[in-house]
Amino acid sequence: MRAPIGRLEFDRIRQWMPIVTLVLLIALVGAFQPGFLEPETLLQLASDTAVLFVLATGVTFVIMIGGIDLSIQSMASLASVIVALTVSRWGYAAFAFAIAAGILAGFLSGVAHVRLKVPSFIATLAMGGVLFSAALVLSRERSITLQTSERDYQTWITGALLGVPNVIVIALVVLAVAHTIQSRTRFGRYSAAIGAGEPAAYASGVKVDRQKIIALVLSGTCAALAGVILAGRLASGSPTLASELLLPSIAAVVVGGTAITGGVGSIWRTLIGALIISVVRIGMTFVGVDIFAQNIVFGAVLIIAVAVTIDRSKIPIVK
């Protein structure tokens, strides 16, 4: 049967909605606050988006296969604590410890998800609790400020390359690597297939369990990296450093146009989504919205974005 014309048209428009939204938002904020469009402010915006983008990139891999990772903010906080606790003694190896913790946490969530057949949202919700407690215990419930000598190890995060802040460079590297993984590797293709039609992917010989574990490992790794960057930028580690980032991260993925049901999406879309979230955040600051009230907006944005990106004619029942 031929697809109804109207739906095809709408699909085409839907695809461009995130980028159009981003441009309109930037223009809107720029109109009220001309200083916003200065190169310096825009670089600041990009720097502030980096952590959110890295977190959102990781969770994009999991959402693509039709799952979710709710442990990312706890993982990022734990990573910041690990860095703060070990950098004085171990130097750069501290970053490796933090990343290794992310890999391990992702792997354990993945194994629980596929071997014990626990839904990913339960496995990662539980893992998030474990990681949060671990961060609390390790830090003795304190925020650990980095000493001046320790900050030398953070220059790869806090420095700048030819005037461009390093965090932006790191985010661009993450973008390039993640985009390649997602669009060019077998894992990327398999995860799209699993998200769009798991039974067919399985019957075609795709090792579904393995791809799910890889997705959660990538998510854990990105979360740890985000925590490392955050620790560098804020010169501290704390069990609540990345709190309030889970909601904006998932909102970024979905606002960018990746379907929460899996199968359709890309890292590029997540970049656009993360920028939208950042611009909205700054816009709210200009308008004078209390910083603690901002998640009210992000919660609403998430619901609206999910409602708009899912084509309900194709998905009759949503649980």
Partner 1 sequence: MSASADEPVLAMAGIEKSFPGVRALKHVSLELRPGEVVGLVGENGAGKSTLMKILSGVYQPDAGEIRLGGRATRFASAADANRQGVGMVFQEQSLLLNLTVGENIYLGTEAQFTRLGLVDWRALYASATRQLAKVQVDVDPRTRAAALDFATRQMVELAKALTLEEHASGHLVILLDEPTSVLERPEIEILFQRVRALKARASFIFVSHRLSEVLELSDRIYVMKDGAVVAELQAAEADVKTLHRLMVGRGLQAEYYREPLQKPFGADVVLELDGLGRGDAYRDVSFKLHAGEILGIAGVLGSGREELTRTLAGLRPHDRGRLIVGGREVRLSTPADAVDVDLGYVPRERRVEGLVLFLSVAANITLPSLKQLARRALIDLGEEQRLAKTWVERLKVRTPGVDALCLNLSGGNQQKVVLAKWLNAKARILILDHPTRGLDVGAKEEVYELVRAATGEGVAVILTSDTLEETIGLSHTVIVMRDGVVTYRTPASPGAKPNQVDLIGHMV
Indicate the residue type of 74: S
Indicate the residue type of 47: S
Indicate the residue type of 269: R
The minimum distance between CB 48 and partner 1, in angstroms, equals: 32
Q: The dihedral of CA 189, 194, 196, 202: what is its sign?
A: positive
The minimum distance between CB 192 and partner 1, in angstroms, equals: 7
Q: If binding is defined by CB under 8 A, does position 204 make contact with partner 1?
A: yes
Q: If binding is defined by CB under 8 A, does position 317 make contact with partner 1?
A: no
Rounded to 10 deg, the angle between the 294-309 and 246-255 helix axes is: 30
Q: β-pairing, 236-237 with 160-161?
A: unpaired
**In this structure, are residues 146 and 236 in contact, taking their beta carbons and an 8 Å threshold?**
yes
Of the pair 304, 315, the CB lying nearest partner 1 is at: 315
Q: If binding is defined by CB under 8 A, does position 115 make contact with partner 1?
A: no
Of the pair 6, 39, the CB lying nearest partner 1 is at: 6
Q: Which helix (H) or strand (E) holds 160?
A: strand 160-161
State which of residues 55, 81, 131, 193 lies at the interface with partner 1 (CB under 8 A).
Answer: 193
Q: If binding is defined by CB under 8 A, does position 197 make contact with partner 1?
A: yes
Q: If binding is defined by CB under 8 A, does position 179 make contact with partner 1?
A: no
Of the pair 153, 190, the CB lying nearest partner 1 is at: 190
Contacts of 81 (CB under 8 A, 6+ apart): 135, 138, 139, 144, 237, 238, 239, 241
Of the pair 121, 187, the CB lying nearest partner 1 is at: 187
Q: If binding is defined by CB under 8 A, does position 1 make contact with partner 1?
A: yes
The minimum distance between CB 194 and partner 1, in angstroms, equals: 9
Cα gap 57→250, rounded to integer Å: 10
- Contact footprint for partner 1 (CB under 8 A): 1-6, 180, 184-186, 189-190, 192-193, 196-197, 199-207, 263-264, 314
